[in-house]
A and B are shown apart, each in its own frame.
Chain A
Amino acid sequence: MNAPSRFSWLQRIAALALLVSMLGSVGFAVGYATGVSAQFQGLALAIALGGLAVAVVIWGKFLVRQERVIDLREPTSSSWERNDATHALEAGTGQIGRRHLLSRLLGSAFAVFGIAALFTIRSLGQNPYPQLFRTKWTPGARLVRENGQPIHREDLAADEIVTVFPEGFVGAADSQTVLLRLAPGILQPASDRADWSPSDYVAYSKVCTHAGCPVGLYRSAEHQLLCPCHQSMFDVLDRAKPIAGPATRPLPQLPLRIAADGYLRAQSDFHEPIGPGFWERGA
């Protein structure tokens, strides 16, 4: 430690680091002016900052006198002032509390004001209910693709899948629906849904009943719809019931019909709320 050469050596490294840092800064400025890549900018910044860091750390660790200081801890609590504080607080509170009626009124007035102020929160958002229970599907609405093109009976081959919206509402998040055409005869609709899937077309809400992601993947061999967010799987052949993953409810089915012109239309809206569950949804 007594060799002064060691310090001059460290001093030289620090000086070098500062020079390198300046180079980095100049490099960043020049690079900025001439328009270089993000990699170059990041590197120049890192050299500028890193050089500074090296010099400052060397300085702090070696070039200033290394001392050990000992701080004595004063107690974090006061001594006799504790009683004073308690007395002052009690006396003051007592003066307010003595006037029973008035102090109670004061408390009530603040409480009532608080409740009144809470009313303003209502302005922050719209009433969610209408949208939670209804989508944009109406009786007779034509099914259209994302480009607005309506779907004709002949458009889809077996095992083909397409995302559809009600005509006029392309992109409506709550109305997104997957339309599938199955191979003839595979689908055995339940008696209450016997006429919902004409010509082997079947349509389910695309909003996952677990956390609302679009149920975007279709395993055609197993006839399963899969949600890529949390891997819930729904059985297309059986009311889109969940068969794996965290979802608890089937995807609501959209009743379809094929009009005289051959275009697919909705018989009605979904018969239940789409998407993830919520308190007011009912059992």
Chain B
Amino acid sequence: MIRRFVLWLDDRLETASFASHAMRKAFPDHWSFMLGEISLYSFIALLATGIFLGFLFDASDAHLTYHGSYAPLVGASVSSAYDSTMRISFETQAGLVIRQMHHWSALLFVAAIVTHMARIFFTGAFRNPREINWIVGLTLLLLALGAGLTGYSLPDDLLSGTGLRITASVAMAIPVIGTWLESLFFGGPFPAPQMVGRLFFTHVLLLPALIIGLISLHMAILWRQKHTQFPGSGRTELNVVGSPLWPNYALKSLGLGLAIFAVLAILGGFFQINPIWDYGPYSPSEVASPSQPDWYVGWLEGALRLGPPIEFHLFGHTIPASFVPGVLFPLLAFGVLYLWPFIERSITKDDRVHNLLDHPIEVPWRTASGVAIFALFLIVTLAGSDDVQARVIHVAIERLIVVYRVLGIALPIVAWLVTFQLCRELRARAIQREVGEPSVVEFIRSPNGGFEEKQPTDTA
């Protein structure tokens, strides 16, 4: 049966020569290699749940009076987008669990991408020849952020509407083209009636198409270049050691995927997320306090809160205060990340091909830089919920902002220094363990100019 299928396909597409290699392809067995797979599987979960939701969601701004089964809102004027999301949540069989699974998958998708990239960064896997895939991966992160933002804005509820309002304001802060850019994307000055439809189109077609295309490219490049691996017995720059694709790796990977889907099902069933009925429908003159975005937008929100209240003027034009934290900071941050393989190359002058990974302690300055970047993102993300913290710990928010501003500058520096020192010491110890105590040899200069090794005098 299998044989007939292989022959039939090979007669037509010459697949057997590829398949014979592919089945025996080596996949390194290290837990950190699962992080990328987790992002892939959460994306598959997003597609599966998203197709279900896409058929039921009505991406329209047309307003109607709510008559659904959620009593507190009956009689309220809501958009069709909000109404259909309520219908999915309350009147559609399995609607709520699938909607919540979709949202949880999105959070996991971004989180898995970020940790996957951290693994790539700290082990130097982005070095020659893998710079292209670093750039593809980083672009996937950006697209995932865009898909997340456009996705949770769709239900047209009060929280997401507020988020869109802020997004539009930040777009308007871009010099020269800002106001037009905002208007061309949303259809007019905020809030434009076309918004929901455009966000929907962006969320369900434009971004997924790009993500699928880039994931394909990402994996094709991975396939071509083969996996990196940690150094170890039998592992060299010239080989890859691991489990064969078929059946070992395929079964393990499928199992991982199924386990992730199971976790998402638990999250979707038991852990409420984005309860739009608590927020209420969007109305431009209302706002919920506190307003907290999804975790991966927190750093932008925090940057806007920490940014100094300074607006610039240039030839009679205005550069609003949100330009620096809302536009320049993300551009710089992602610019540094995009260029990292080339920045590192220009520092180390190392252009050799690297298929063996670094242990993070082996390259203290890179690890320190990565930790510093994480420290910065941690602080701005925390600052994104400073109002909640101020309320919980009873501190004036103005003080908390000062603390975060100081930490935002100080912590990355401290983190860099500490990590650098820590890595160096750990590295020294690791070397010591391997080669043993360095033996001290003394030389004595003899009167005729020669050297003699001094015999150790045993004190014991």
Contacts and interface: CB of A to CB of B under 8 A. Distances in A.
A46 B322 contact: no
B130 to A, nearest CB: 10
Interface in B118-165: 129, 162, 165
A69 B192 CA distance: 58
Given A69-B26, A231-B387, A53 B97 contact: no
B244 A128 contact: no
B97 A38 contact: yes
Interface string B412-451: 0000000000000000000000000000000000000000
Task: Determine the interface band of chain A, counting residues with CB < 8 A from chain B.
Answer: 35 or more
A121 interface: yes
A246 B173 contact: no
B288 A228 contact: yes
Contacts of B401: 231, 245
A65 B225 CA distance: 27
B309 A279 contact: no
Task: Determine the interface band of chain B, counting residues with CB < 8 A from chain A.
Answer: 35 or more
Given A76-B224, A210-B322, A42 B173 contact: no
Given A39-B270, A71-B240, A76-B224, A242 B251 contact: no
A176 to B, nearest CB: 4
A245 B289 contact: no
B283 A279 contact: no
A129 B251 CA distance: 59
B96 interface: yes
Interface in A26-50: 32, 35, 38-43, 45-47, 49-50
A244 interface: yes
Interface in A67-115: 67-73, 76
A12 interface: no
Interface in B41-100: 93-94, 96-97, 100
B172 A276 contact: yes
Interface stretch (B207-215, B313-321, B330-338, B365-373): B313-321
B286 A71 contact: no
A142 interface: no
Contacts of A156: none
Contacts of B202: none
A252 interface: no
Contacts of A176: 284-285
B284 A247 contact: no
Given A57-B251, A69-B24, A42 B269 contact: yes
Contact of B285 (A69, A131, A146): A146
B179 A56 contact: no
Interface stretch (A184-192, A195-203, A213-221, A260-268): A213-221
Contacts of B197: none
Interface in B332-369: 353, 355
Interface in B98-115: 100-101
Contacts of B283: 171
A126 B183 contact: yes
Interface in B282-317: 283-291, 301, 304-311, 313, 316-317
Nearest 10 CB-CB pairings of A with B: A42-B269, A60-B251, A277-B320, A57-B255, A228-B289, A173-B284, A53-B258, A50-B262, A45-B265, A56-B255
21 contacts: A38-B97, A46-B262, A73-B237, A124-B187, A126-B189, A127-B183, A132-B179, A206-B285, A211-B169, A211-B322, A213-B166, A214-B287, A231-B386, A231-B397, A244-B398, A245-B305, A248-B309, A276-B169, A276-B320, A279-B175, A282-B316
Given A45-B268, A70-B234, 18 more contacts: A32-B93, A42-B269, A45-B97, A49-B261, A53-B256, A53-B259, A56-B258, A68-B242, A68-B243, A69-B24, A171-B285, A174-B189, A211-B304, A213-B165, A213-B291, A277-B322, A279-B176, A279-B177
